[in-house]
Amino acid sequence: MSGIGKGIATASIGRILKSKGFKVTAIKIDPYINVDAGTMNPVEHGEVFVTDDGIECDQDVGNYERFLDENIYTDNYMTTGRVYQAVINRERNLEYQGRCVEVVPDIPNEVIDTIKRAGKKVKADFVLIEIGGTVGEYQNMLFLEAARMLKLQHPKDVLFILVSYFPVPTIIGEMKTKPTQYAVRTLNSAGIQPDMILARSVLPLDEPRKRKVSNFCNVEKEDIISAPDVKSVYEVPINFEKENIGNRILKKFGLKPKQSNLKEWDDLVKMINDSPKPVEIGIVGKYFETGSFTLLDSYISVIEAVKHAAFAHNRKAKITWLSAEKYEKNPDELKELDSFAGIIVPGGFGNRGIEGKIKVIEYCRKNKKPFLGLCLGLQLSVIEFARNVCGYKDATSAEFKQKSKNIIIDVMPEQKVLLKEKKYGGTMRLGAYDCNLTEGTISSRAYGKKQISERHRHRYEVNNDYREALEKKGMLIAGLNPEKDLVEIIEVKGHPFFVASQFHPEFKSRPLNPHPLFREFIKAAIK
């Protein structure tokens, strides 16, 4: 079922196989109709992750990139909508040469072709495929059918791993295996026999239960992997390896490890578990309140990037979620920002919470509080500066107000046409674009190079008509896109760390390779 860590499990197995000397890539299959995650509400679906080649996909793709330390591309993300769209386009282009195109086998065949393309693109030894949803539900049936057919076509090259939940009802305090027994039977009825079972639970799986599951589910005992909850997701590969999962997988393919190299990862986990000193970071957002729960999935890449940067300084990030709207109602609340070492204003869309975020930015600028703005965070930083330093009192963004004298953040001309035609899906400025850094800025020192490439997801931009006025008053344009002369990074002169980027640096941060802007932000915060 969803939420038990299939993504982290997939990513962790990938990391393990990579550590044994193999080239690995991973594919996420989401059974919903949406063509991509770009149009989904982040509170409901979590973060929209963006790849270098510009797909807006599920946050698990971010987990793959973070764990594998490899880039993931378009063919590594499938949804029902995406697959059907590809088949329908092919049919319209006469690629099926006039024959009747059918749900089975044409849809599963398209899935199989996509899997093969994804593997070929990066010359992978292993392609890990995560099929979302629950065994037995209607939505993922065609993907399971594709998996069955793939195994039939390549019997020696396909292995199935079932990630299953083992509840421990608090009333009896005993771990139950029955749901897994039923899951395997349901999977069997789809023509699939799992080769391994990952036992997700609050507790480790004990010997008697391993024996029982092995017996009832037709899986060797050594292939039932205990996967209890852990404090940090980065511990999962280490935990899996304790159960020898990597070599078990290789053995089934008749392979031997070429090397064994999880040491750096192991050292990182040891450092995390050593309870290092915290660094207190406040993140001001609006996509985390859902009913009586706080869900932080909408900001997962930001959270992980902060953690990675803290790890680099032997610290543990302690993140507090600050709701932007409360500063609008009660500006006195801004005082609480004093208790944080640094503040982040991340990406976002629409009017809600805007004025509260602008107040936070003003506070950080005036009180020399280390500040990092991401995408919308840059746009609001420029608006704040225009209003409070340059004197354009009505400064705003075309996203919030179409009629204002001073539209400091404007919609790009090509975007205007798309919005008018209601073409919202997959049409933002997406994926990697170059940025030239200005010498002598915090950003150029952080990266230690002149040109960088970073990932984008936005429709609005700094209006170049105001650049001179902003610069005159002490705003530094620290990064520019060379092709279109677009503002990519701003800083504030004389501030210890006030950096905001139009791109999303969080998408490129990796646990053993933290992003330079986050790394320097945390350094300033610690100082």
What is the layout of strands, in order, in the sheet containing 126-131?
77-79, 24-30, 126-131
Residues in a beta bridge with 218? none
Which of 163, 4, 229, 216 is CA-nearest to residue 208?
Answer: 216
Nearest approach in angstroms of CB 381 to ligand GLN is: 12
Which of 243, 301, 230, 239 is CA-nearest to residue 265?
Answer: 239
> SS in 3 state form for 36-56?
CHHHCCHHHHCCCEECCCCCE
158 or 380: CB nearest ligand GLN: 380
Active-site residue (options: 217, 364, 375, 435)? 375
301 or 443: CB nearest ligand GLN: 301
For residues 46 and 299, is the Cβ–Cβ distance under 8 A?
Answer: no
DSSP 3-state of 281: strand
165 or 349: CB nearest ligand GLN: 349
132 or 348: CB nearest ligand GLN: 348
Nearest approach in angstroms of CB 416 to ligand GLN is: 13
**Residue at 368: amino acid letter:** K
Both tokens of 43, joined, read: 């509170």
Count Cα neighbours of 396 within 13 Å in the Cβ-side half-sphere.
13
> SS in 3 state form for 155-166?
CCCCCCEEEEEC
22 or 433: CB nearest ligand GLN: 433
Residues 6+ apart with CB under 8 A from 93: none
Nearest approach in angstroms of CB 399 to ligand GLN is: 5
Catalytic (active site) residue 154: no
Q: How many CB atoms lie within 10 A of CB 111?
A: 27
Nearest approach in angstroms of CB 412 to ligand GLN is: 9
Nearest approach in angstroms of CB 348 to ligand GLN is: 5
341 or 380: CB nearest ligand GLN: 380
For residues 411 and 382, is the Cβ–Cβ distance under 8 A?
Answer: no
Both tokens of 394, joined, read: 């009505």
Q: How far is the C-alpha of 280 from the C-alpha of 526, rounded, in Å?
A: 9
Catalytic (active site) residue 483: no
For residues 29 and 150, is the Cβ–Cβ distance under 8 A?
Answer: no
Catalytic (active site) residue 504: yes
Residue nearest to ligand GLN (CB): 347
20 or 458: CB nearest ligand GLN: 458
Q: How far is the C-alpha of 280 from the C-alpha of 426, rounded, in Å?
A: 36
The residue ranges that bind ligand GLN (CB under 6 A) are 347-349, 375-376, 399, 457-460
Q: How many CB atoms lie within 10 A of CB 87?
A: 20
Which of 523, 500, 499 is CA-nearest to residue 442?
Answer: 499
For residues 453 and 432, is the Cβ–Cβ distance under 8 A?
Answer: yes
Both tokens of 417, joined, read: 């046409």
Nearest approach in angstroms of CB 458 to ligand GLN is: 3
Nearest approach in angstroms of CB 382 to ligand GLN is: 12
265 or 460: CB nearest ligand GLN: 460
247 or 427: CB nearest ligand GLN: 427
Nearest approach in angstroms of CB 374 to ligand GLN is: 7
Q: How far is the C-alpha of 313 from the C-alpha of 519, rounded, in Å?
A: 8
| Helix, strand, coil share of the chain (percent; to 5) | 45, 20, 35
Nearest approach in angstroms of CB 302 to ligand GLN is: 11
Active-site residue (options: 308, 456, 458, 504)? 504
* Backbone phi and psi for residue 390, each to the nearest 5 degrees, phi listed first: -90, -10
**Residue at 270: amino acid letter:** K
Active-site residue (options: 362, 506, 515, 520)? 506
- Catalytic residue annotation: 375, 504, 506
